[in-house]
Amino acid sequence: MGLIFLGASEAQKRTQAPILAQGNIMRLIFLGPPGAGKGTQAAILAQELNIPHISTGDLLRSAIAQKTALGILAQAYLESGELVPDALIMAMMGERLAEFDALGGWILDGFPRNLSQAQALDRLLQILGQSHPQAVNFNVATESLIARMLQQGRKDDNENLIRRRLEVYQEKTTPLINFYKQRRCLIDIDGNLTPEAVNQSIRAKLSLAVPV
Ligand code: AMP
């Protein structure tokens, strides 16, 4: 089926309108190791649903490029593949999720990254009056990850940095899989397929209408 939406056409918006009108606001957390394709999938789905794709990595890189106080504090962590301190991340996300466009749902990409961020996100959503999110976990064979990331070739990605980011993911972020599984709000996705097939599978598992 050829059904990827590449632009927010009027037909697409009409298809989506009933989903939002029914109060079915999509709040999604994309979990998965670096290189799993979750950024690509988040961008596609966010456009299809007309909700913001919020990537903490992108927000941090933009803060670094603009040399803001946050960027200056965060830079060394990104360069070494370590996690930026939770307090900085939560301040950044507190502001972002309180923005107007986040009221109608969102896809979080790269956040939360550890248990304390997940717990802090719970508290933040309670304060903002936003309901519990659904987590989408991308499974990709480890050998593919390094190859994919080297191929994507962000200039700061050398192999050591990539390995360190994978280790940090294993150590700090994988406990979130159980955290959300225990809440029965985790969807597992096979990320080894083509981007189109992965998109299909996410939509099917989230029970979204498949556009024709
Ligand atoms: P990403 O683009 O999501 O792979 O993130 C790139 C880098 O930004 C990571 O290796 C971390 O240094 C930092 N980063 C992104 N998101 C977070 C987060 N939620 N908590 C801490 N550090 C983060």
The predicted pLDDT at position 155 comes to 57
**Is the peptide bond preceding residue 112 cis, with omega within 30 degrees of 0?**
yes
Of ligand 1's atoms, which has the minimum distance to the CA of residue 112? Answer: 19
In a domain? residue 75: no
Residue 109 Cα: closest atom of ligand 1: 3
Q: How many domains does the chain have?
A: 1
Q: Which residues form ligand 1's pocket by a CB distance below 6 Å?
A: 34, 56-57, 60, 77-78, 81-84, 89, 110-111, 113, 117, 165
**Segments forming the whole domain that contains residue 141:** 26-56+107-204
Q: Is residue 117 part of a domain?
A: yes
Tens-of-pLDDT digits for all 212 residues of the chain?
444 444 444 444 444 443 443 468 999 999 999 989 999 999 999 999 999 999 999 999 999 999 999 999 999 999 999 999 999 999 999 999 999 999 999 999 999 999 999 999 999 999 999 988 999 999 998 888 877 877 776 655 688 898 899 999 999 999 999 999 999 999 999 999 999 999 999 999 998 765 54
CATH number at residue 176: 3.40.50.300
Using a 10 angstrom Cβ sphere, with 0-12 exposed, 13-18 middle and 19 or more buried, the burial of residue 135 is buried
Ligand 1 pocket mutation pick from 60, 121, 165 by most atoms within 8 angstroms of CB:
60
For residues 55 and 57, give the distance between their C-alpha atoms in angstroms, rounded to a whole number.
Answer: 5
For residue 31, being part of any structural domain is answered with yes
**Is 88 within the bounds of a domain?**
no
Domain membership of residue 16 (yes or no) is no
